[in-house]
Amino acid sequence: MKKVVSRVLLAALVVSLASFAFAGDMMEGSWTGVVTDTGCGAKGANADHAKCAAKCVKEHGAKYALYTPSDKQVWVLSNQEEAAKMAGQEVTVKGKADKEKMSIEVASMEPAAKK
């Protein structure tokens, strides 16, 4: 009986440590950048690129993404419908980022504040 209890406790410990490790990869925050697509990335981070981004997503399997000029990163956005509406625009995205997958689980996406 002690062996069974020990194994159950060990399994619970392993599962909880694994979930803690995966949770550590997610960081909550906000990011400001331009909605582009994964095919063009930084090159497509401008207002003139909106139609091209839509074509790349529809015809070539690209995903809408956020290019953040502050760190020169391209983050895949979870809310593809909202991103499609804002392609080529500077936006502020709030949510949780997964650095390993270079993706953001979008909680909200709004036009960036004018400077």
Q: Domain total for the chain?
A: 1
- The answer to whether position 67 is within a domain reads yes
Write the pLDDT tens digit of every residue in 78-103: 999 999 999 999 999 999 999 999 99
Residue 13 domain-assigned (yes or no): no
pLDDT per residue rounded down to tens, the chain (115 residues): 666 545 544 555 444 554 444 555 899 999 999 999 999 999 888 888 899 999 999 999 999 999 999 999 999 999 999 999 999 999 999 999 999 999 999 999 999 998 6
Task: Return the residue matching tokens 């593809």.
Answer: 80
Domain that holds residue 61: 27-111
Q: Which alpha helices (H) appear in 30-115, and where do they start and end?
A: 50-60, 80-85
Question: Is 101 within a domain?
Answer: yes
- CA separation (Å) from 8 to 15, 18, 19, 68, 92? 11, 15, 17, 45, 45
Asked whether residue 19 is domain-assigned, the answer is no
How far CA 20 is from CA of 14, 15, 46, 56, 105, in Å, comes to 10, 9, 38, 36, 18
